[in-house]
Amino acid sequence: MKNLNTIIISVLCSACCLYIYHVSTQRKITRLDNNYARLVAQTDQISASSEVIYRDKYVSNASFVAAASKAINAVVGIEAIKITQDRTGNDKYARTNGSGVLISSNGYIITNYHVIENASEIELILEDKREFKAELQGYDQSTDLALLKIVASDLPYIQIGDSDDLDIGEWVLAIGNPFKLSSSVTAGIVSAKARQINIFKTQGVESFIQTDAAVNPGNSGGALINTEGKLVGINTAILTYSGKYEGFSFAVPSNLVEKVITDLREYGAVQRAWLGVSVLSVDEKRAEALGLEKIEGVFVDLVEREGAADRAELKFEDVITAIDGKKTKSRPAFLEILGQYRPGDVISISYFRKGKTYQATATLLNQLNTTDYIAVRRDKLFTELGFELRDLDSEEKEKNNQAGVMVVSIMKGSTIESVNMDPGYIITSINGIKINTVEQFKTKLESTSGLVLLNGFYENYPKEWPYKFYR
């Protein structure tokens, strides 16, 4: 009997425990369900509001397919052939591979300068397997960009998009020829903008779009596109310890690309605008010392006399916060924005000085502090002979009472050095034909073989100095 009572009590206790457990867990499940329901509702609200804000950037698998289909036929493979001589005088051949992007139906192609640097021949292969010889139209070392041209028509090309419109976290696609694997497409997001990685040997404009789209050797010069299939960057570099992709790739923004390439097409060289300041990014210590509310902008470290900034009355220790309404959050961002202008352009500058915000208007100048369109020409024809040239600006023409072509620099061991010409020489004629511009000089030089006779003068020595050489 005693055992029976014990059994009954045990059963009742077990039943009570089961009931309590059931009720308590049911309540937990209910709370979780309610939280989930609220989370779903909140997510729906966020999604609904996001759809309004980012509707144009909604991404699906179909978006990737459509974007890739638009762009893939306009990305080309590039093989640059470099011919040098060994100690015995025999030719040595080296080949580098990269990518390029067609930007017009008549055969203009963007690539990186380092892909075709010092190339004796440049060969292209299109997506449809057609092969072409390409001519170098111009290049800009400070942005690592080059413009090529092939003789063809009705080619597929990529429309250039607005890189300023890119958002961090937005999906992008990289298209190129890594390891000679043609038409390879990889996807990633925009990880950062206005990134500086210090890859240029000389002073350059480093304001890269950073992505995690896989980019490897051979992708250089290829396309970075958005989900609309528009070009938003030219893939240029990776950060790596192994020599291969490790999660970071960098592209020159399309707005800067478009300006550089337009200049190369129209003028043969980049028309770079100068504000006449040296700037530094603002850090926490400097922001606190200056009384800035946010740690952003560029600190004016130096103002050049008679430069554009000096004429606009900017001063040392001013902090430039925006140009034409575009925020200059860092030095790379400042250089990227400024790199989209030409001499003579008028810009609005927002700046901070001693606790107050001001506005100034500046007319941008060239490196000679004038508004003329001049630039140093490094065409292959000139560098093979061994000099770099530029047009005279308006002040130089007025001072010398004539036009001509200025010799900017002369390369060691070159044909031009062998005739003892010095930088600063102003060429006024070639084989008796007067020339006023670098373009005129180039046209005449291209049609000349054998003896070349240059006439000109040095500004401090007004008498005529002739030089002759053979090509």
Largest CA distance in the chain: 137
- Among the options 140, 144, 379, 391, which is catalytic? 144
- Whether the Cβ atoms of residue 160 and residue 258 lie closer than 8 Å to each other: yes
- To the query of whether residue 144 is one of the catalytic residues in this protein, the response is yes
- Whether the Cβ atoms of residue 168 and residue 329 lie closer than 8 Å to each other: no
Neighbours of 181 (CB within 10 A): 12
CA gap 304, 337 in Å, rounded:
20
Place of tokens 């570099």: 237
Q: Which phi and psi (to 5°) does residue 399 adopt?
A: -65, -40
The CA distances from residue 471 to 32, 67, 221, 385, in Å, are: 84, 49, 33, 8
Q: Which phi and psi (to 5°) does residue 455 adopt?
A: -120, 145
CA gap 292, 378 in Å, rounded:
43
Please name which of 143, 194, 168 lies closest in space to residue 337, comparing C-alpha atoms. 194
- Among the options 142, 163, 184, 220, which is catalytic? 220
Sign of CA dihedral 282, 286, 289, 294: positive
Neighbouring C-alpha atoms within 13 Å toward the C-beta of 374: 26
Q: Which phi and psi (to 5°) does residue 425 adopt?
A: -70, 135
- Among the options 99, 114, 191, 254, which is catalytic? 114
- Whether the Cβ atoms of residue 371 and residue 365 lie closer than 8 Å to each other: yes
Neighbours of 90 (CB within 10 A): 8
Annotated catalytic residues are 114, 144, 220
